Amino acid sequence: MRLALDMASKAKGQTEINPVVGCVVVKEGRIVGLGAHLKRGEGHAEVHALQMAGREAEGATVYVTLEPCSHYGRTPPCCERIIEAKASRVVVACLDPNPKVAGRGVARLRESGIEVGVGLLEKESLAMNEAFNKYITTGLPFITLKTAMTLDGKIAAKTGDSRYVSGSEARERVHTMRHQHSGIMIGVETALADNPELTTRLSVPGLHPVRIVVDSQLRLPPDSRLLLDASAPVILLTTEGASQDKRAALEAKGASVIACGPGPRVDLAYGMKKLGERELGSVLLEGGGRLNGSMLELGLVDKIVLFIAPKLIGGQSPEAFTFGGFDRMADAVPLRHMTTEQIGDDLCVSGYPVYA
């Protein structure tokens, strides 16, 4: 199962709204088949692994990180494929939260006489597909807020200079995160200040997320680097009151504009719904402080990843979270399942906010 999890985790970011899944077929103590789901619309993990196993699959044990599917999606049900291959046992890490499956896969296998075990390395499998688990049950993207800050919580110097807060290893990690998310989102203030491309620039090639800018008045200049670079689509979340001329100019540059409410500010909850409708299952939120603060206040952030650099900048400089704040410490947003990791000289701290 660990091998199956490892294989699956490497495909994170390349299956769009599908989960990552790995499968290992074992017969009499030997691995006879391996597979992972690599691309939406193409073979599921079990199909690849059983194909490799061939006739050895008969009487074998199939280890799979997600409950085999029981429905016809873009591909036929894996359950039937396992039954046809005459495997005698299936070990599943976790059930498939997809309402079209949700236990039916396991039930179908048991009904056909196959022994099924559920729950081996379940936590690991659930964590690996945290975005899929949210998206498939709510239609909303999983939002990961990522920010780099100094030890005193600043994301830039008082002059606005922010290149760079964190070291090169942490920045490489951020690009891996971009590769692993379907969308990347920033506020227009950040777009104006940094004129970023928001592409994935790893030391090896990576996938580019769809770029999203929250821009209530469509202040993004049509000649910004985001719009000149065609590596991924650009979506602007704005308000109904934004200028139609600006909208036309930005659309002419290829941007897709979505009006989210009457204004004056973008209705972010509505915006997230619209991104889900466009099949963006995961979005990396990269600031700035105001958008981070608003998303947090609205309870729209699922996970927070902070890269903390071992430096102090001081001054009236921008902070990672800018919002009205709470009066009492007891009202602060707590984070659960915190983890820490040192990356180069920086500390990576992550956790999941819990909303009252």
Give the burial string for 80-96 (b: 16+ CB within 10 Å, else e): bbbbebebeebbbbbbb
Classify residue 225 as exposed, middle or buried by CB count within 10 Å of its CB (0-12, 13-18, 19+).
Answer: middle
- Residue 295 binds what, of Zn ion, ligand AOF, none (CB under 5 to 8 Å, by partner type)? none
Rg of the Cα trace of the chain? 23
- 189, 288 contact by CB (below 8 A): yes
**In this structure, what are the phi and psi dihedrals at residue 243, rounded to the nearest 5 degrees?**
-60, 130
Judged by CB under 6 A, the chain residues 80 through 119 that form the site for ligand AOF are 96, 98, 101
- Which residue's C-beta sits nearest to ligand AOF? 73
d(CA 289, CA 318): 7
d(CA 93, CA 116): 11
Could you count the other beta carbons within 10 Å of the beta carbon of residue 131? 26
- 259, 266 contact by CB (below 8 A): no
User: To the nearest whole angstrom, how small is the minimum distance from the Cβ of residue 164 to ligand AOF?
Assistant: 37
Cα four-point dihedral sign 107, 112, 118, 124: negative
100 or 158: CB nearest Zn ion:
100
Residue 30 tokens, joined: 């030997």
Judged by CB under 6 A, the chain residues 15 through 54 that form the site for ligand AOF are 18-19, 21, 37, 40, 44-46
74 or 336: CB nearest ligand AOF:
74
Piece of the chain touching Zn ion by CB under 5 A; list 64-72, 120-128, 165-173, 308-316: 64-72
Member of 7, 92, 136, 191 binding ligand AOF (CB under 6 A): 136
Q: How many residues can be counted in the chain?
A: 356
Member of 14, 73, 225, 353 binding ligand AOF (CB under 6 A): 73
44 or 211: CB nearest ligand AOF:
44
- Residue 272 binds what, of Zn ion, ligand AOF, none (CB under 5 to 8 Å, by partner type)? none
Instruction: Please calculate the CA angle 172-294-316 and round it to the nearest 5 degrees.
Output: 70
Member of 4, 43, 44, 140 binding Zn ion (CB under 5 A): 44
d(CA 121, CA 3): 11
**In this structure, what are the phi and psi dihedrals at residue 237, rounded to the nearest 5 degrees?**
-95, 120
User: To the nearest whole angstrom, how small is the minimum distance from the Cβ of residue 47 to ligand AOF?
Assistant: 8
Judged by CB under 5 A, the chain residues 71 through 90 that form the site for Zn ion are 78
Member of 30, 55, 74, 328 binding ligand AOF (CB under 6 A): 74
Angle between helices 45-53 and 2-10 (to 10 degrees): 120
Judged by CB under 6 A, the chain residues 52 through 71 that form the site for ligand AOF are 66, 68-69
- 197, 209 contact by CB (below 8 A): no
46 catalytic? Reply is yes
User: To the nearest whole angstrom, how small is the minimum distance from the Cβ of residue 211 to ligand AOF?
Assistant: 25
37 or 171: CB nearest ligand AOF:
37
* Residue 78 is a binding residue for ligand AOF (CB under 6 A): yes
Which candidate in 16, 28, 42, 46 is catalytic? 46
47 or 300: CB nearest ligand AOF:
47
Residues that bind ligand AOF (CB under 6 A): 18-19, 21, 37, 40, 44-46, 66, 68-69, 73-75, 78, 96, 98, 101, 136
Residues that bind Zn ion (CB under 5 A): 44, 69, 78
The residues assigned a catalytic role are 46
